[in-house]
């Protein structure tokens, strides 16, 4: 009864619709839709409504107009009228069946459900539409349907079906030779992988999309710009701000070619944000100014506010707090808190941070109504700002409360991210297994080959699980140590170290794991012409991972005081002669000359773990080999200083900068990251040397060498030998 009343009401609307377009011809109305470019949906809707009042329309023509007007109503956001029109179309199709229009009916119904947030209903309609489009072999609409089904699945919850739908969307877009649809499928694929927490796969998807676009006969600048922008967003999530900067810059160049000032301004803002992360304040300020000028030229309030607030962030980084608060506050007034909620929230936190230095009371007043104990980046930063503001007011209890909340929210966020990644990897493995079964049926692979590939996948999964275990083991001990620290300043420092270690370990593991993954997939699909060479490369990468894991584990033992020394008392001079002899072949193999001088008297003993002393010397020698220009030299001088032994380990140029020198014993810190990684270094050698020296009650210090390189000084306690009696 309700449907009947709705149809009657819709028919009355059609009759009462303004008659300005009543003279429209159906053929003219039909011809305008295949044309590319933006359409005036309101004008098209009026024409369609006028046509529906005409009794001369055939059943097929009426089906077409009912479908098109329903689509226009959805596009215009008139969802209730759109549902009435779809009900009328369903009734009409029952009387006049048409497979193609049945598919389009379900497609528009799915689009409406998707916009209303009814994701399960949207998925059902899109998949139903795909059944009808399959019958009519409408590849274009099939690609549309599967892509939208993927969007509906992903928007509801992470599900493997979303990836399967995207693969079909790309397949049918290729069959239709439809470049925009194929590109849209790539966009959706990367976005879904990013939503699932699979950044490596999202990155691969964007790079594949970029290669595909560049291979087109006439590459589309707008598509290339959007792809580089998406690529940059993934690099931001990885924490690789230099790579993100390069990608945003490339996106800007394509926007500049088509003079798209809206996206030119947005790219300049994102470029400025990367410069801020890289501490290049001059370049960041220049980029924000350029974004401001571009936004003013097109009167785009959101981007203008974003750019002005960005200039405030630059001033905040410089320590100009009143100026920073003024600029960020100006920007906030231009950013709509409803339409741009996340952007507004982020800059509200920046605004409060600027205020907290000079006016902590106002900062607290701004943030308190906004703050929620939710594990998001914005709320973590808000908690930190509140902690600082209360500290400025000498309210240390409240400061500690919010600093503790910041730590707890960050831990919750990290745990959620870890669980999401594990679940995504599990589903990804399941998807691979399903694909493997399909490939077996299609290609007729024998059982043995399938087993080999399955073992390769299992090996990769085992490696990932093992790495996660050791990483969690190390982080557990680090967290346990941090919990014991009570003061606010120490908590801030510990939290920073934890974040840096997570980012560095993730960065160190990503490259060898990506190489292993790509080679395993190549072996799976029989794409490797020289398997032995591939296995050798994989073994090399595994050795690098084992070295890194062993070093991390050893440092973890030292941190938790579970690393025990096997102490022995030996004549100091003889022991250090032995240590020098052990490192000489390594140094000479690397085209370096060893100049050693041991002036210790024979009457001195030293109590130490001999194996650990060999480890210290070996690490120092390898460090010199990695970072000294060839040919070069290494100088080792060992002498007594009061009741201590001093060992100076020096190498030749190029050495390190004043900025890098105090950070060399930080874990995973390298001056030349790519070079040391290629040589097999873990970035933990000097950290391990420092720990082992401290366990021997000694001290390790770093300075510039007169040879042009680095000087490492080891100070260890000595024991005078009692004179022997006659």
Pairing of strands 644-652, 604-608: unpaired
**Predicted local confidence at residue 195, as pLDDT:** 80
Measured distance CA(211)–CA(228) in Å, rounded: 11
Q: Taking phi first (over 0 means left), then psi (-120 to 50 degrees means alpha), and beta for anything else, what does residue 430 get?
A: alpha
Give Dmax (Cα) for the chain.
Answer: 132
Reported as a pLDDT band with limits 50, 70 and 90, residue 321 is very high
More confident residue, 512 or 641: 641
Distance CA 366, CA 325 (A): 12
pLDDT in tens, 104-150: 999 999 999 999 989 889 999 999 999 999 999 999 999 999 999 88
Supply the mean pLDDT for the chain. 81
User: CB–CB of 39/48 below 8 Å?
Assistant: no
Average pLDDT of 694-701? 90
Would you state the pLDDT for residue 413?
Answer: 79
Question: Tokens in use for 146?
Answer: 């599967």
User: What was the pLDDT predicted at 83?
Assistant: 94
Neighbour-count burial of 306, counting CB atoms closer than 10 A to its CB (0-12 exposed, 13-18 middle, 19+ buried): buried
Least confident of 23-27, 101-105, 203-207, 353-357: 23-27
421-450: pLDDT as tens digits: 676 666 666 656 544 543 454 455 345 545
- pTM over cut 0.85: no
Region of 97 on the Ramachandran plot (φ > 0 left; ψ -120 to 50 alpha; else beta): beta
**Position 16 pLDDT exceeds 70:** no
pLDDT band at 39 (very low <50, low <70, confident <90, very high): low
> How do beta strands 644-652 and 708-717 pair?
antiparallel
On whether the CB atoms of residues 132 and 95 are closer than 8 A, the answer is no
Q: Bigger pLDDT: 410 or 464?
A: 410
- pLDDT confidence of 635, banded at 50, 70, 90? very high
Spatial separation of the C-alpha atoms in residues 568 and 273, rounded to whole Å:
56
Which pLDDT band holds residue 405 (cuts at 50, 70, 90)? confident
Q: 281-300: per-residue pLDDT in tens? A: 999 999 999 999 999 999 99
CB proximity list for 256: less than 8 A, separation 6 or greater: 264
Predicted confidence at residue 674, as pLDDT, reads 43
Between these two residues, 685 and 53, which has the higher pLDDT value? 53
CA distance 621 to 302: 56
In a 13 Å sphere around the CA of 255, the CA atoms on its Cβ side amount to 21
Predicted local confidence at residue 439, as pLDDT: 46
Q: For position 665, what pLDDT does the model report?
A: 77
At residue 599 the predicted structure's pLDDT band, cuts being 50, 70 and 90, is: very high
Residue 654 per-residue DSSP state: B
Q: Alpha-carbon distance 462 to 416, whole Å?
A: 22
Q: Give the model's pLDDT for residue 282.
A: 94
The helix (H) or strand (E) run that includes residue 191 is helix 179-195
Question: pLDDT tens digits for 511-549?
Answer: 567 767 777 877 777 777 777 777 777 776 776 676 667
**Residue 595 reports pLDDT greater than 90:** yes
What pLDDT is recorded for position 334? 92
């Amino acid at each position: 009864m309700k449907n009947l009343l709705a149809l009657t009401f819709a028919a009355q609307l059609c009759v009462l619709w303004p008659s300005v377009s009543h003279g429209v011809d159906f053929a003219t109305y039909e011809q305008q839709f295949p044309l590319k470019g933006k359409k005036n949906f309101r004008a098209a809707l009026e024409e369609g409504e006028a046509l529906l009042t005409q009794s001369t329309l055939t059943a097929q023509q009426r089906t077409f107009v009912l479908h098109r007007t329903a689509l226009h109503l959805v596009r215009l956001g008139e969802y209730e009228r759109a549902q009435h029109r779809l009900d009328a179309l369903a009734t009409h199709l029952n009387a006049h069946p048409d497979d193609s229009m049945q598919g389009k009916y379900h497609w528009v119904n799915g689009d409406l459900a998707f916009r209303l947030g009814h994701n399960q209903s949207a998925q059902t309609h899109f998949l139903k539409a795909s059944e009808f489009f399959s019958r009519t072999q409408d590849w274009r609409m099939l690609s549309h349907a599967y892509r939208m089904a993927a969007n509906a699945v992903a928007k509801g919850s992470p599900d493997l079906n979303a990836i399967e739908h995207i693969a079909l969307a790309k397949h049918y877009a290729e069959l239709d030779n439809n470049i925009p649809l194929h590109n849209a499928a790539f966009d959706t694929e990367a976005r879904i992988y990013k939503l699932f927490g699979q950044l490596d796969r999202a990155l691969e998807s964007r790079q594949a999309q970029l290669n595909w676009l560049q291979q087109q006969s006439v590459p589309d600048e707008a598509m290339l710009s959007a792809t580089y922008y998406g690529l940059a967003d993934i690099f931001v999530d990885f924490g690789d701000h230099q790579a993100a900067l390069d990608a945003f810059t490339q996106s800007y160049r394509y926007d500049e070619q088509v003079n798209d000032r809206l996206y030119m301004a947005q790219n300049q803002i994102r470029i400025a944000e990367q410069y801020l992360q890289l501490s290049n304040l001059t370049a960041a300020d220049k980029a924000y100014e350029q974004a401001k000028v571009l936004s003013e030229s097109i009167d785009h309030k959101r981007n203008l506010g974003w750019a002005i607030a960005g200039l405030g962030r630059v001033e905040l980084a410089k320590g100009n707090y009143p100026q920073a608060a003024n600029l960020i506050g100006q920007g906030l007034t231009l950013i709509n808190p409803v339409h741009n909620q996340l952007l507004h929230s982020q800059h509200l936190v920046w605004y409060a941070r600027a205020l907290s230095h000079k006016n902590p009371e106002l900062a607290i007043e701004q943030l308190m109504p906004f703050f929620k104990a939710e594990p998001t980046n914005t709320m973590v930063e808000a908690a930190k700002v509140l902690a600082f503001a209360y500290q400025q007011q000498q309210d240390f209890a409240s400061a500690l409360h919010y600093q503790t909340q910041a730590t707890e929210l960050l831990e919750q966020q990290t745990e959620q991210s870890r669980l999401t990644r594990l679940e995504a990897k599990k589903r990804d493995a399941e998807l691979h297994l399903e694909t493997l079964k399909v490939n077996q049926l299609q290609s007729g692979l024998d059982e043995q080959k399938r087993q080999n590939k399955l073992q390769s996948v299992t090996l990769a999964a085992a490696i990932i699980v093992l790495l996660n275990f050791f990483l969690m083991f190390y982080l557990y001990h680090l967290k346990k140590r941090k919990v014991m620290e009570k003061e606010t300043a120490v908590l801030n420092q510990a939290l920073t170290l934890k974040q840096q270690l997570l980012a560095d370990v993730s960065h160190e593991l990503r490259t060898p794991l990506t190489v292993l993954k790509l080679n395993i997939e190549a072996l799976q699909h029989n794409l490797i012409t020289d398997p032995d060479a591939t296995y050798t490369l994989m073994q090399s990468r595994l050795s690098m991972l084992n070295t890194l894991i062993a070093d991390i584990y050893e440092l973890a033992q030292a941190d938790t005081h579970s690393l025990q020394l096997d102490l022995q008392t030996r004549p100091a001079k003889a022991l250090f002669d032995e240590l020098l002899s052990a490192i000489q072949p390594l140094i000479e193999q690397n085209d370096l000359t060893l100049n050693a001088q041991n002036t210790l008297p024979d009457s001195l003993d030293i109590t130490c773990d001999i194996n650990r002393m060999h480890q210290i010397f070996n690490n120092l020698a390898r460090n010199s080999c990695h970072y000294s220009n060839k040919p070069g030299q290494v100088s080792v001088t060992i002498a007594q200083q009061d009741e201590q032994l001093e060992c100076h380990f020096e190498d030749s140029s190029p050495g390190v900068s004043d900025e890098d020198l105090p950070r060399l014993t930080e874990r995973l810190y390298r001056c030349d990251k790519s070079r040391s990684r290629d040589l097999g270094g873990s970035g933990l050698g000097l950290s391990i040397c420092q720990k082992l020296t401290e366990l021997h009650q000694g001290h390790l210090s770093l300075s510039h060498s007169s040879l042009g390189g680095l000087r490492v000084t080891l100070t260890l306690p000595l024991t005078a030998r009692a004179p022997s009696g006659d």
